Structure 1
Amino acid sequence: MNAPVATRVLGLAIVVLSGLQMMVVLDGTVANLALAPLQQDLGLSDSGRNWVLTSYALAFGGLMLLGGRLGDAFGRKKMFISGVALFTLASLACGLAFNEFTLVAARFLQGVGAAVASPTALALVATTFAAGPARNQAIAIFAAMTGIGSIAGLIIGGALTEVSWRLIFLINVPIGAVIVACAFVALRETASERLTLDVPGAVLATLGCTGIVFAMSEGPELGWTSAAVIGAAIAGVVLLVAFLLVERQADNPLLPFSLFQDRNRVATFVAIFFAGAVMFCVAAYVALFVQDILGYSPLRAGMAFIPFAFGLGGAAAVASKLVVRIQPRWLVLAGAAVMVVGLLYGSTLDSSATYWGNLFVPVIGIGFGVGLAVVPLPLCAIAGVGPSEIGPLAAIAQVAQTLGGPLALAVVGAMATSKTLSLGGVKGAVAEMNPAQLVALGEGYTFALVGSAVCAAIAGVAALFIRFTPQQVAQAQAAEKAAQEG
């Protein structure tokens, strides 16, 4: 493998790598704000609206582990450029989509591109910058792009959606083209490794999850006894069983079962999965509630979410210091409790709610609860293992968080739609609803927060089974830093 060439962090290489990370994160955020206008413009069904989010997350999460290994097998620069190029072309297709199928298919391809480019970009940080201050600063900048992209997505996405939802995707095209062009100049290729890629495992896992999500999403629309719903559910279960069988026989499995022998770690992954589910579902349904029920513009809706990010950031700063002093399970449990209280309160709101009177405190409070939970959990995932296992465990934790969202949204979305229909509401986009239908729609959206609260409660219960000590977590922090420094 080529030696790192950069001893200073500032330069074209970090712009390319961190720019991709920001674009990938920003794209996930802005889509939430565009759901309401998207549904009206393209006439999406309720399940189709959710597929705009889940198709991207399923492809991203399901193929992320394979995407990282493609860089090891064929060269990271080559696969990074390929991933960014696919993401950029798929963004163009999203911006030009003319119906539900073309948009969802393009979003899936976006997720595939992100699954190749994002993990490869992180690996390129280690091979592009020399160990020590340069690499540490590069990793810090790369990580910061996640937070900056999330907040920027709220503001930029809201502003662009005010003009047209298509712009939130089309803006990626010139940015992606610049990243590809600069990557040819700024990055060095890494040596290829002889690896047996677990392509069947990645495909089976992604298709299996997709089958389950399809069944849950389309159940309220098509009927729970319809052949398509039952068939998708059966196919999803069969494919996931086949995935487990393939993983047992694979030479280089995506999911090594030996990593799950520790019950503490299994509980950690469960908590990560459901914590990710809370963030994904809350972002979608709060955005829909404030736009469809309270009449917020997309920009105002984006601004309304900013306190969530500040609450999360403040809690993360607190948790990062407390996690080496008290058992991490208590932090996760406290965070889950705060989320449950905030979400259950949110589920009682209706069209009479005001931002400062009813939304501000729950939004910042739920963000604080998420921050308390999400800092200890990744450290628990890698606590008590050797340096060679840190990378795979950290990657699996990221996949668990990414896949928790779409799988939970399928269930929560089915709950919301069923609630709306049971109260006399209507399916899909309607040009103008009567007052009763609008009330039913709002009840469905707030009922989705009850489902999100259940996810938070499950994360809290799972945390009770995490027995890692503060000393083990402190060692995990040190090992993670050492692994990053190479």
Structure 2
Amino acid sequence: MSNELDSLPATPGSASAVKGQGTAVSLALIVGCQLMVAIGFSSLNIALPAIRSGLNLSLSELSWVTNLYMLTFSGLLLLGGRAGDLLGRRRVFLAGIAVFTVSSLVGTLADSSAMLLVALVGQGAGAAFAEPASLSLIAVNFTEGSRRDRALAVFATAAGLGLAVGLLVGGLLSEISWRAALFVNVPLGLVILVGTPFVLRESPRNRGRFDVGGALTVTFGVVALVFGLTRAGSAGWSDGWVLGSFAAAIVLLVSAVLVEARASHPLVPLHLFRNGRRATAYINTVLVGTVGAGMLFCLTQFLEDIVGFSPIEAGFAFLPLAVTLFGAAVATPRLIARRGAKAVVVAGAASLTAGTFWLSFLSWDTSYAAGVLGPLLLIGAGQGSSVTALNSLILAGVPHGDSGAASGLQQSTMRIGASLGLAATVTMISTVGRAAPGEGGVSTARAHEIMADGFGRAFALSSALIAVGLVIAVFLLRDSRPVARPHEKPLS
């Protein structure tokens, strides 16, 4: 990684231009945010069985431990990106890191499920403001092309490192207490808070105002959709709350589009979607996002509850995923230069489809080596390459004033996809459990068989969703870099 950092050029007017080695240090602090968010999410996932046991939660209730964080994160990401444009990206970056760090400490000290959920909402809110600010700082400071692609690869690589570190540290600390798994973010957050004012300079503010109406309609629309999907698994599709949630989601999301079309300073500038390549890349980002959260949710419980791994063993079991993701993210800029971004997205989607389809054959007697290791390698390669290539396609040609909104939308679509994917996963598992005859009082072996069947069907659904993304990438995604319109000034 040091070679990647050192090869990035200084940008006039940035902290890098003022401090000789500032480029490496500045980028290290920026990706430190991504690292912290990734560690927080992966360590939380590896601790899910311990949280479920410690707080006596049902499967649907357990899903909200992850989903509350992701819903807050995805719902506020657009507002976080806009806040960076209007208030200054370093200021918003610092505020988000501070909220995330304090919330992690609150989660560490939580003595009830309610207090834990409040802490997770705080983590999601902090990450929603810090992460788009960090990504847009890269978009502003590094020239479009291979140099920015390398910076984005370092940024994406941080997710792989955070995943690996979070799984291992989370597994190790979960042996002691699930609360300890939340504390790992506190020291990293403090380092970023202390170092940022001395290394990163503030970006210029853009004129405008916050689009509160757009933020509210988008956030509550996504929450209503995910709530309906999650509740359907336990209450059935004809349940009044489920139908009401879906109706509310439709009304709110349609209203969001109308609000954005009329807003003088929209949260999501709709002209970003006039470029067909960028719009298609956003759709694929949602579909790619459906894989990760559901996979971690299922496989963590499969490995610990059915295979019998300890939390630390489960953490090591996920290492091939993290290492492959890391390697794919590092190699992707060279692949883009040689083959084009479309080819990388297609290959990544094919790898994700194959990996999730393989996992659809999970059963109660599936071993790690025979049924889990191979899919993890395929999914890691697919995610590492797809996310980096889609980031490059989305940010190419974005006008300076919209960089925060574009990067926030990219992260938001990814997290919305993760929330929808997890909700669909839990619904599928719960539906299988409800349909199983004699579920109450069954033996442990029968319970494991029912759970594994639910996991397998959830992965079949995930495979179908990402296959749609593969078809879209093959037939609709254009590979050429966009040409700026007269009113758009390309980033430099």
Instruction: Give the TM-score band, short-chain normalised.
Output: 0.7 to 0.9
Residue in structure 2 matched with residue 464 of structure 1 by the alignment: 474
Alpha-carbon spacing, 1:238–1:426, altered in 2? closer, same or farther (3 Å): farther
Residue in structure 1 matched with residue 308 of structure 2 by the alignment: 295
Other structure's SS at 1:163 match: coil
Residue in structure 2 matched with residue 434 of structure 1 by the alignment: 444
Q: How does 1:295-444 map to 2 (within 5 A)?
A: 295-316=308-329, 319-326=332-339, 328-382=341-395, 392-424=405-437, 434-444=444-454
What letter corresponds to residue 341 of structure 1 in structure 2? A
How far apart, in 2, do the equivalents of 1:370 and 1:138 lie? 17
User: Is the CA contact 1:212–1:232 (under 8 Å) kept in the aligned structure 2?
Assistant: yes
TM-score, normalising length from structure 1? 0.85
How far apart, in 2, do the equivalents of 1:181 and 1:323 lie? 36
1:84 matched to 2:133? The reply is: no
- How far 1:331 sits from its partner (Å)? 4.1
Q: How does 1:19-418 map to 2 (within 5 A)?
A: 19-123=32-136, 144-183=157-196, 186-190=199-203, 192-316=205-329, 319-326=332-339, 328-382=341-395, 392-418=405-431
Alpha-carbon spacing, 1:465–1:97, altered in 2? closer, same or farther (3 Å): farther
How far apart, in 1, do the equivalents of 2:450 and 2:281 lie? 37
Q: Which moved more, 1:416-425 or 1:439-448?
A: 416-425
Other structure's SS at 2:20 match: coil
Q: Which moved more, 1:285-294 or 1:313-322?
A: 313-322
- How far 1:186 sits from its partner (Å)? 5.0
**Unmatched 5+ stretches in structure 2:** 1-11, 485-489
Work out the percentage of aligned pairs sharing the same amino acid: 33
Alpha-carbon spacing, 1:67–1:39, altered in 2? closer, same or farther (3 Å): same
Other structure's SS at 1:464 match: helix
- How far 1:414 sits from its partner (Å)? 0.3
Q: How does 1:468-483 map to 2 (within 5 A)?
A: 468-469=478-479, 472-473=480-481, 483=491
Other structure's SS at 1:246 match: helix
Alpha-carbon spacing, 1:408–1:129, altered in 2? closer, same or farther (3 Å): closer
- How far 1:339 sits from its partner (Å)? 2.7
How far apart, in 2, do the equivalents of 1:115 and 1:332 lie? 25
How far apart, in 2, do the equivalents of 1:253 and 1:184 lie? 30
- How far 1:44 sits from its partner (Å)? 1.7
User: Is the CA contact 1:159–1:298 (under 8 Å) kept in the aligned structure 2?
Assistant: yes
Other structure's SS at 1:79 match: helix
User: Is the CA contact 1:424–1:440 (under 8 Å) kept in the aligned structure 2?
Assistant: no
- How far 1:463 sits from its partner (Å)? 1.1
- How far 1:214 sits from its partner (Å)? 0.7
How far apart, in 2, do the equivalents of 1:282 and 1:418 lie? 17
Alpha-carbon spacing, 1:50–1:221, altered in 2? closer, same or farther (3 Å): same
Other structure's SS at 2:178 match: coil
How far apart, in 2, do the equivalents of 1:130 and 1:463 lie? 26
How far apart, in 2, do the equivalents of 1:327 and 1:193 lie? 33
Q: Which moved more, 1:335-344 or 1:38-47?
A: 335-344
User: Is the CA contact 2:157–2:330 (under 8 Å) kept in the aligned structure 1?
Assistant: no
Alpha-carbon spacing, 1:204–1:98, altered in 2? closer, same or farther (3 Å): farther
How far apart, in 2, do the equivalents of 1:418 and 1:105 lie? 28
Alpha-carbon spacing, 1:322–1:20, altered in 2? closer, same or farther (3 Å): closer
How far apart, in 1, do the equivalents of 2:274 and 2:140 lie? 32
Other structure's SS at 1:349 match: coil
Residue in structure 1 matched with residue 487 of structure 2 by the alignment: none
Q: Which moved more, 1:58-67 or 1:72-81?
A: 72-81
User: Is the CA contact 1:80–1:120 (under 8 Å) kept in the aligned structure 2?
Assistant: yes
- How far 1:392 sits from its partner (Å)? 4.4
Residue in structure 1 matched with residue 461 of structure 2 by the alignment: 451
Residue in structure 1 matched with residue 8 of structure 2 by the alignment: none
How far apart, in 2, do the equivalents of 1:32 and 1:243 lie? 31
User: Is the CA contact 2:156–2:387 (under 8 Å) kept in the aligned structure 1?
Assistant: no
Alpha-carbon spacing, 1:373–1:23, altered in 2? closer, same or farther (3 Å): closer
- How far 1:245 sits from its partner (Å)? 1.5
Alpha-carbon spacing, 1:256–1:308, altered in 2? closer, same or farther (3 Å): same
Alpha-carbon spacing, 1:75–1:342, altered in 2? closer, same or farther (3 Å): closer
- How far 1:30 sits from its partner (Å)? 1.3
- How far 1:298 sits from its partner (Å)? 1.3
TM-score, normalising length from structure 2? 0.84
How far apart, in 2, do the equivalents of 1:130 and 1:105 lie? 40
Alpha-carbon spacing, 1:425–1:285, altered in 2? closer, same or farther (3 Å): farther
User: Is the CA contact 2:290–2:422 (under 8 Å) kept in the aligned structure 1?
Assistant: yes
How far apart, in 2, do the equivalents of 1:193 and 1:129 lie? 19
Other structure's SS at 1:166 match: helix
Alpha-carbon spacing, 1:454–1:3, altered in 2? closer, same or farther (3 Å): closer
- How far 1:328 sits from its partner (Å)? 4.6
How far apart, in 2, do the equivalents of 1:106 and 1:120 lie? 22
- How far 1:325 sits from its partner (Å)? 4.5
- How far 1:216 sits from its partner (Å)? 0.8
Other structure's SS at 1:7 match: coil
User: Is the CA contact 1:346–1:362 (under 8 Å) kept in the aligned structure 2?
Assistant: yes
Alpha-carbon spacing, 1:93–1:390, altered in 2? closer, same or farther (3 Å): closer
How far apart, in 2, do the equivalents of 1:201 and 1:194 lie? 18
What letter corresponds to residue 356 of structure 1 in structure 2? A
